[in-house]
């Protein structure tokens, strides 16, 4: 399959879960791929798994000033950038009363501020045409308890799909949101829950999904391939929900 042949694609947060699987699918479709991640060990593990041609860039998605370094690294290695998939995200959920300002700021930096300044830094590199995919969440559409800050950050990111498409359309840059529903990824294991509590949470999440199961990274990756490819050339400034019916049924 060669739907992305000749295209250069950057995936943030590409060391596990949806990001890693998307990198795998982009490669299978013929793209040249770069991934970012905070952990040097995680990046090396992902690079070995994906193959030696992948460019691995160590970067904290929440460091807005550091996004210029990512752009510099890419400019030194590639002639252009055809696809950006903003996938890196902070998933902290907690009751409103337990939020503190530092944790709130860190979540917003990773999920909204960092991506904004990454896109800004990459502007000179984008080809015409190009596709930007912003990873939203079904949480931006439902009133899930304890998701307040997370959902707000994703709603802000999805808003950029509209505003930046309007601003960048004359440069041939499409911006769209890709919003997962509950998905089986390592992110749930990062919530710091005991084994039984995590299992109970997974059961609760499955009950939210009308079709009775969580999604898979592969299902999200296939949707990302569509948004990255020329098949979606008429898809601009919108959101693709891959959520098992959570938002619509």
Catalytic residues: 150
Spatial CA neighbour of 67 closest among 2, 107, 117, 13: 117
3-state secondary structure of 244: coil
Is cis: bond before 129, omega within 30 of 0? yes
Give the Cα separation of 240 and 55 in Å (integer): 27
Q: How far apart are the first and last CA of the chain?
A: 34
Is cis: bond before 218, omega within 30 of 0? no
Please report which helix (H) or strand (E) contains residue 146, including its range: none
Q: Angle 17-28/217-228 helices, nearest 10 degrees?
A: 50
What string of DSSP letters covers 116-139?
HHHHHHHGGGEEEEEEEEEE--GG
Residues 127/80, Cβ–Cβ less than 8 Å? yes
Give the Cα separation of 232 and 245 in Å (integer): 22
Backbone angles phi, psi at 11, to 5 degrees: -120, 120
Which ranges in 134-194 belong to alpha helices (H)?
Answer: 148-168
Give the Cα separation of 115 and 54 in Å (integer): 21
């Amino acid at each position: 399959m060669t739907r992305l042949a000749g295209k250069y694609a950057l995936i943030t947060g590409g060391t596990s879960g949806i990001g890693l699987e998307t990198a795998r699918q982009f490669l299978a479709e013929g793209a040249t791929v770069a991934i970012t991640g905070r952990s040097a060990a995680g990046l090396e593990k992902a690079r070995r798994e994906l193959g030696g041609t992948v460019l691995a860039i160590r970067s904290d998605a929440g460091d807005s000033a550091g996004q210029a370094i990512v752009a510099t690294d890419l400019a030194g290695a590639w002639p252009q950038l055809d696809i950006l998939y903003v996938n890196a995200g902070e998933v902290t959920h907690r009751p409103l009363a337990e939020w503190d300002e530092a944790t709130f700021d860190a979540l917003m930096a990773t999920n909204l501020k960092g991506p904004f300044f990454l896109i800004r830094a990459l502007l000179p590199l984008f080809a015409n045409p190009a596709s930007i995919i912003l990873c939203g969440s079904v949480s931006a559409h439902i009133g899930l308890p304890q998701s307040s800050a997370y959902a707000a950050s994703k709603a802000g990111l999805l808003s950029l799909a509209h505003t930046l498409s309007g601003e960048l359309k004359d440069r041939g840059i499409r911006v769209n949101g890709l919003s997962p529903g509950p998905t089986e990824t390592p992110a749930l294991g990062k919530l710091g829950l005991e084994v039984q509590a995590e299992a109970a949470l997974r059961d609760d999440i499955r009950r939210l999904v009308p079709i009775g199961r969580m999604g898979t990274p592969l299902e999200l990756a296939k949707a990302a391939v569509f948004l990255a490819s020329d098949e979606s050339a008429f898809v601009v400034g919108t959101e693709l929900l891959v959520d098992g019916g959570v938002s619509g049924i």
